[in-house]
Amino acid sequence: MARDEQLKKRWEHVVYKLSQQFADGDQLDLDAIIYLIGVQELGQLNRKFKKDDKISLMHISICKLLEPYGYYEFDYFDDDGWPHYKILAQLPALKAGEQSVLMKEAIVNYFLSASYID
């Protein structure tokens, strides 16, 4: 199976499973999945988040997702338990479609390593 085809199938599987688990079957989009990963990484699951917190959660997620690619490295947890990352390399200039593919690939890899999908 071609790499792009495998990524597409795995991405659809991730979207399906997360949509069933968190959205009563309504299909989650990329941003919603990034947000869920941020909540998972923060580990404060039963909490209401303010708008600014939601943006920070998405940032945490992006850092975590791109860490294996060498763009970020975990630095420390602050006093409130929020993870902080340091930038190791600037992201290359990518077109919107290329950004989307990179994030989908990173999300699929995240859930593969967590054994959420296979």
Kindly write down the DSSP assignment for every residue of 65-83, as one continuous string: HHGGGTSEEEEEE-TTS-E
Give the burial string for 9-36 (b: 16+ CB within 10 Å, else e): ebbeebbeebbeeeeeeeebeeebbbbb
pTM (2 decimals)? Answer: 0.92
- Per-domain boundaries in the chain: 3-113
Segment 37-49 mean pLDDT: 92
Q: Which DSSP symbol is given to 21?
A: H
Q: Is the pLDDT of residue 96 over 90?
A: no
In angstroms, the CA 107 to CA 37 distance is 9
What totals of helices (H) and strands (E) does the chain contain, helices first?
Answer: 4, 2
Could you tell me which of 69, 68, 18, 60 has the C-alpha nearest to residue 41?
Answer: 60
């479609």: which residue's tokens? Answer: 97
Give the model's confidence band at 106: pLDDT under 50 very low, under 70 low, under 90 confident, else very high: very high
Could you tell me which of 117, 118, 114 has the C-alpha nearest to residue 41?
Answer: 114
Give the model's confidence band at 41: pLDDT under 50 very low, under 70 low, under 90 confident, else very high: very high
Residues above pLDDT 90, as percent of the chain: 86
Query: What is the structure's pLDDT at 118?
Result: 86
